[in-house]
Structure 1
Amino acid sequence: MIQRRHLLSAAALAPLPRFAIAQNAGPDRRPSITIAVQIVSISGTLEPMREQSNVGFRVMPSFSEPLIGIDWLDTERAEPVLATAWRRIDARTLELTLRDDVRMHDGRVMEAEDVAFTFGQDRMWTGLPADNRGLFVSTTAGAAGKTPPPEAVAISRAHFPNFERMEVVDRRTVRFVNAVPDVTLEGRLTRTTGAIFSRAAFAQASSWLEWARKPVGTGPYRVASFRPGQDLVLEAHDEYWGGRPPLRRIRFVEVPDVAARVAGLMAGDWDFICDLPPDQIQGIERSPRHQVVGGPINNIRLIVWDKTHPVLANPLVRRAMSHSIDRQAIVDSLWSGRTQVPKGLQWDVYGDMMLRDWEAPRFDLAEARRLLREANYRGEPIPYQLLNNYYTAQVASSQILVEGWRAAGLNVQVEMKENWGQILGRFPGRGLCDNSNTAVFNDPVAPMSVYAPGGQTWAAGQWQNEEAPRLMEALQTETDLQRRRATFRRLLTLTEREDPAYTVLFQTANFTGKRRDLPWRASKSFVMDFSQRNWGGVG
């Protein structure tokens, strides 16, 4: 998979010693902060080739960086990160110039070979065989050797579906070579899976799981410790290419209960709390010492169906369920009108690719009942696998959904589950579940890849359709705007109307409670940015 123009020597893999930083000679007066979150990682790892969740997206940019990034604070557009420049050699090839003197967390200076390793066979394109539970289930795979878990290959195929090789041109130049033309190569490289890691640190790790719980990247903070189910501690990487980080230490601590997070903030135990439902905002803002920041972000909450369930195999039933949802009632009653019902799986950041005449399925119980009669539905039970507020206000949302389905004549039965493995595993009786999807870059390819080979919904066996891969291929390779728009429209028609893979609920709003005196802004995504540029200019 990787074309190298020179061989690595053993010396090239050896980590370099850290250099003393004169400005750190005196007392370190930078603050440390504690952030209470619902969960740090659903996979028990910090490796993006396994952890592809909203909560992982929150923490990863602090310790890992891609070649091209997204400015989540303001523009939501691409910006240089580890690459200072890039250009198209042809429709299949993107050449990138690497930033000089990027020191990684192990003290080595990042080189083109680290980029080649990141996209190489050892990390991306090899994986253990999946067990009979399927993908996205195990949280301990890779404990006995260096082979990545089976999800690594699926995620690689979804995010870089026609990757051919990463070509090392010289020490500061690489070329991403695709097998076919792809208008979204630049966007794909902004994903967390495009973050660059140390090949030497990976080689020294005793197992894949050890590596995945303490990956060595280039971000402003390095992973000091990670205890799955407890906390993640990050420490300042003072040799960071972007300048000295403004914080000495960041601790993300898991506090699953919302009330406990709020109480801890008010008591001074935490400096920030995440995943805050709107009904808690007013109480926090009564305190002169605290405030709530945030709003709608680049994520949409969904219901996803399992087509293998005998009742849900009929698309008429899924369509009926879509028309039985009062989305505006959820927005008004649970989110206090602080977000909106989206136009299907779309965001304004799509620009010219946004289909502004598209709408989410209308709330229409008469139409839902008509579809159920046509489907010859006779009240068979439909299981709804539900987590206890992994998503903000998830249980409250589910109650509105179930009432709407009941009013249409649907017999939906809630089954509470403890973790995502019990949701996505290939167990008998899977029905429907909550999910979400994110515009990780500003093109429909980003979220729609979930419903094509390698994407989570496809790989988990919840939904597949023979037309979807062809449409995704066309969306990726077509360069004419109007033809791309027509392809996207057809893909939305397939996945939202004809053979629904999902139905949208509302655009996610992300609220963070914080100490009022801390000079930090919320981003337009789940990402929490604690770099210099987002800490009041403190250096």
Structure 2
Amino acid sequence: MYCLIECLRIAFTMLLDRWEDTEMLTVARRGLLKGAAAVAGVTMLPRTISAQERRDIVVGVQRLPENISPGRDTADYTVPISYNVFDKLIEPDFHNRMQLGPGLATSWDIEGYREIVFTLRQGVRFHNGDEMTAEDVAFTFSRERREGDGPVRLAQFFSNVLEANALDDHKVQIVMDGVDPIIEQRFAMWSSEIVSKRAYRDAPSYGKWALMPIGTGPFRVADLNTDRFVLEAFDDYWGGPPNVRSLTFVEVPEVAGRIAALASGDFDVITVVPVDQISTIDGYDDIEVVGGPGAKLRILIFNQGEFAHPMMKNVHFRRALSLAVDRQLLVDALFDGRANVPNGLQLPSFGDTFDPDYPVPAYDPAQARAELAMSGYAGEVIDYPLLPNVIDTEVAVAEVLREMWKAVGIDVELQIRENWKQITRGHHSIRNMSATMVWQDPATILWRLFKPSVMKGRGWGWVNDTFNANGIILENEPDKVVRRAAFTAMMTEWETADPMGIVLFQEVWLYGKRTDLDWQPYVLPYMDFGPNNV
């Protein structure tokens, strides 16, 4: 566990050079078959090796999920596995700044941001041998599946689907309930994985299906146990046979154990490498660290509801909490300068709706003390419950934040909990959250996580009319200039004028791998072992 003294020592002794880019450390070496180049008519073939040369890859992970359940579980420890089992209609090209390109659909037409018609790739096989048809795609997004037991994320992310119709064997029409400015993005990201209608309906329950799910990806499920998941190559994969014979994900919660297994050759890749362990891995000739800033932001939530300290309702107190945080020192101390402090709750991949002129969060301890004086705060203890070993460096970050708040006169008590339910259903004035880019759009974080319906459901008690009015514009207006103006107004309310929370930094995803494995990580937690990335 880090302490503040050690954090400051690292910060002031680190090299002055910083990353100026948010790309991953490993440089892209190969094109992606399913990317935008395919649209332009360029033939991009996956690398192939003989079946005799294919290796078995073992990945050491911090945590395994209970099953593989796209549409239900989008946790950082789940999607690295499910990405190898399922495909989407549209695929972001992670080798080309996440440009959208063909996946299971070869083309699509959008009408008025209310309707999208997909032409499907022919000859695609599910792992059970069935050919994928429009019926499978229509069922994937159907009301029957969305309202059934299990896929709660699908129901959330595609709640505005009005109809899903198979027009013929290879053409699907999806009709939205109103204008949807991010209609294309929805089918390229979380919970849009295509499932087999027959296999899904034949399963006795959602839970049983999730233990042996059927997808179209480069690997199929061989065995799911509590301590390891085994996937095997699906040689009928539409993108070409994988260059890996099998994938085994093994749970090892302790970072020292994962590194030891990587160094000994028992593991080929490990996840969640802390910055302070980079030098350990660098001490070996045959293993290395890869990765960098990802498409995910670490934020704090300022609860103002029933289960929060009454001071949290005071806007001056919440402003003081924000102004007391030196985010740059935080990332320098804990991440050796590898993390970035973003300018607001946004990422450059938002494209035309990204506001490059929006300011980086201010660090002003003098103003923090002034806001604190106006708040009437009298030294009450403010609770900050958290979980160890769920969000990377969670405890270390909280310890540094506590000292920064203490420096301006705010007494925050860190309280270790055993599970999320103890936090979400218990008293929590401050809590942290990792906000992943579900879509490459401002709606991905700010509106999705803090719209009125979500605020009511979580009981956070924050009501801001300006934020909500601009959120309606963001949700319904296709014009990018208008959407960016609305988004900027929302960020200002959320973080500065009437803080609901604060942005801390852009998350860093670091992995260890064997140097002879030609594999690279992405800016999302997907771990792609398909033929285009190994």
Same fold (TM over 0.5): yes
Partner of 1:171 in structure 2? Answer: 169
Would you say 1:122 and 2:144 are equivalent positions? yes
Cα distance between partner residues in 2 of 1:60 and 1:30: 21
CA deviation after TM superposition for structure 1 residue 464, in Å: 4.7
The question of whether the paired residues in 1 share the 8 Å contact of 2:141 and 2:158 is answered with: no
Cα distance between partner residues in 2 of 1:109 and 1:120: 19
Map 1:303-382 → 2, pairs under 5 A: 303-308=300-305, 309=308, 310-382=310-382
Partner of 2:205 in structure 1? Answer: 207
Cα distance between partner residues in 2 of 1:96 and 1:453: 33
Partner of 1:478 in structure 2? Answer: 477
Partner of 2:533 in structure 1? Answer: 534
Residue of structure 2 aligned with 1:298, choices 295, 298, 308: 295
Cα distance between partner residues in 2 of 1:124 and 1:169: 20
Residue of structure 2 aligned with 1:277, choices 274, 278, 286: 274
Partner of 2:184 in structure 1? Answer: 186
Partner of 1:521 in structure 2? Answer: 520
Cα distance between partner residues in 2 of 1:464 and 1:195: 34
Q: Which amino acid aligns with 1:86?
A: W
Partner of 1:162 in structure 2? Answer: 160
CA deviation after TM superposition for structure 1 residue 364, in Å: 1.5
CA deviation after TM superposition for structure 1 residue 524, in Å: 2.1
Q: Give secondary structure in 1 for the equivalent of 2:194.
A: coil
Alignment gaps of 5+ in structure 1: 1-25, 127-146
Deviations, residues 479-531 of structure 1 (Å, cap 9, x unaligned): 22221111101211222223333211111111111110011112222111111
Cα distance between partner residues in 2 of 1:465 and 1:227: 44
Would you say 1:38 and 2:62 are equivalent positions? yes
Cα distance between partner residues in 2 of 1:32 and 1:59: 15
CA deviation after TM superposition for structure 1 residue 318, in Å: 2.2
Q: How many residues align?
A: 480
Deviations, residues 159-184 of structure 1 (Å, cap 9, x unaligned): 23422111221111111111111221
Cα distance between partner residues in 1 of 2:211 and 2:145: 14
Q: Give secondary structure in 2 for the equivalent of 1:488.
A: helix
Q: Which amino acid aligns with 2:90?
A: I
The question of whether the paired residues in 2 share the 8 Å contact of 1:452 and 1:464 is answered with: no
Cα distance between partner residues in 2 of 1:167 and 1:469: 33
CA deviation after TM superposition for structure 1 residue 222, in Å: 1.4
Q: Which amino acid aligns with 1:302?
A: I
The question of whether the paired residues in 2 share the 8 Å contact of 1:198 and 1:216 is answered with: yes
CA deviation after TM superposition for structure 1 residue 381, in Å: 2.0
Name the % identity.
36
- Pick closer, same or farther for the CA change 1:193–1:459 going to 2, 3 Å: farther
CA deviation after TM superposition for structure 1 residue 366, in Å: 1.8
Cα distance between partner residues in 2 of 1:206 and 1:28: 38
The question of whether the paired residues in 2 share the 8 Å contact of 1:463 and 1:501 is answered with: no
Deviations, residues 372-407 of structure 1 (Å, cap 9, x unaligned): 222212222221111113222222111111101111
Map 1:222-261 → 2, pairs under 5 A: 222-228=220-226, 230-261=227-258
Q: Which amino acid aligns with 2:374?
A: E
Residue of structure 1 aligned with 2:78, choices 37, 40, 56: 56
Partner of 1:80 in structure 2? Answer: 102
Q: Give secondary structure in 2 for the equivalent of 1:187.
A: helix
Q: Give secondary structure in 2 for the equivalent of 1:399.
A: helix
Deviations, residues 82-120 of structure 1 (Å, cap 9, x unaligned): 111011133311111111111111211111111122112
Q: Which amino acid aligns with 2:275?
A: P
With normalisation by structure 2, the TM-score equals 0.85
Cα distance between partner residues in 1 of 2:285 and 2:139: 50
Cα distance between partner residues in 1 of 2:341 and 2:183: 30
Map 1:327-476 → 2, pairs under 5 A: 327-424=327-424, 426-427=425-426, 429-448=427-446, 449-452=448-451, 459-462=457-460, 464-465=462-463, 467=465, 468-476=467-475
Alignment gaps of 5+ in structure 2: 1-49
The question of whether the paired residues in 2 share the 8 Å contact of 1:65 and 1:217 is answered with: yes
Residue of structure 1 aligned with 2:126, choices 99, 104, 120: 104
Q: Give secondary structure in 2 for the equivalent of 1:193.
A: coil
Q: Give secondary structure in 1 for the equivalent of 2:109.
A: strand
Partner of 2:87 in structure 1? Answer: 65
Cα distance between partner residues in 1 of 2:456 and 2:209: 27
Would you say 1:267 and 2:252 are equivalent positions? no
CA deviation after TM superposition for structure 1 residue 418, in Å: 2.4
The question of whether the paired residues in 1 share the 8 Å contact of 2:72 and 2:191 is answered with: no
Cα distance between partner residues in 2 of 1:362 and 1:27: 56
Partner of 2:14 in structure 1? Answer: none
Q: Give secondary structure in 2 for the equivalent of 1:240.
A: coil
CA deviation after TM superposition for structure 1 residue 463, in Å: 5.5
Partner of 2:37 in structure 1? Answer: none
Partner of 1:19 in structure 2? Answer: none
- Pick closer, same or farther for the CA change 1:470–1:98 going to 2, 3 Å: farther
CA deviation after TM superposition for structure 1 residue 466, in Å: 5.7
Residue of structure 1 aligned with 2:195, choices 191, 194, 197: 197
Q: Which amino acid aligns with 1:305?
A: F
CA deviation after TM superposition for structure 1 residue 28, in Å: 5.0
CA deviation after TM superposition for structure 1 residue 454, in Å: 6.4
- Pick closer, same or farther for the CA change 1:56–1:501 going to 2, 3 Å: farther
Residue of structure 2 aligned with 1:90, choices 99, 109, 112: 112
Q: Give secondary structure in 1 for the equivalent of 2:191.
A: helix
The question of whether the paired residues in 2 share the 8 Å contact of 1:116 and 1:168 is answered with: yes
Cα distance between partner residues in 2 of 1:222 and 1:172: 23
Cα distance between partner residues in 2 of 1:454 and 1:29: 53
Cα distance between partner residues in 2 of 1:395 and 1:509: 16
- Pick closer, same or farther for the CA change 1:222–1:462 going to 2, 3 Å: farther
Cα distance between partner residues in 2 of 1:466 and 1:210: 43
Cα distance between partner residues in 2 of 1:79 and 1:461: 39
CA deviation after TM superposition for structure 1 residue 337, in Å: 1.0
The question of whether the paired residues in 1 share the 8 Å contact of 2:71 and 2:192 is answered with: no
The question of whether the paired residues in 2 share the 8 Å contact of 1:158 and 1:453 is answered with: no
Cα distance between partner residues in 2 of 1:52 and 1:470: 29
Cα distance between partner residues in 2 of 1:459 and 1:28: 54
Cα distance between partner residues in 1 of 2:348 and 2:289: 24
Q: Which amino acid aligns with 1:287?
A: Y
- Please tell me the root mean square deviation across aligned C-alpha atoms, in Å: 2.0
The question of whether the paired residues in 2 share the 8 Å contact of 1:343 and 1:359 is answered with: yes
- Pick closer, same or farther for the CA change 1:354–1:63 going to 2, 3 Å: same
- Pick closer, same or farther for the CA change 1:454–1:261 going to 2, 3 Å: farther
Report the more deviating stretch, 508-517 or 264-273: 264-273
The question of whether the paired residues in 2 share the 8 Å contact of 1:158 and 1:454 is answered with: no
Cα distance between partner residues in 2 of 1:464 and 1:219: 42
Deviations, residues 405-447 of structure 1 (Å, cap 9, x unaligned): 11122221111122333333x22x1222221112233211122
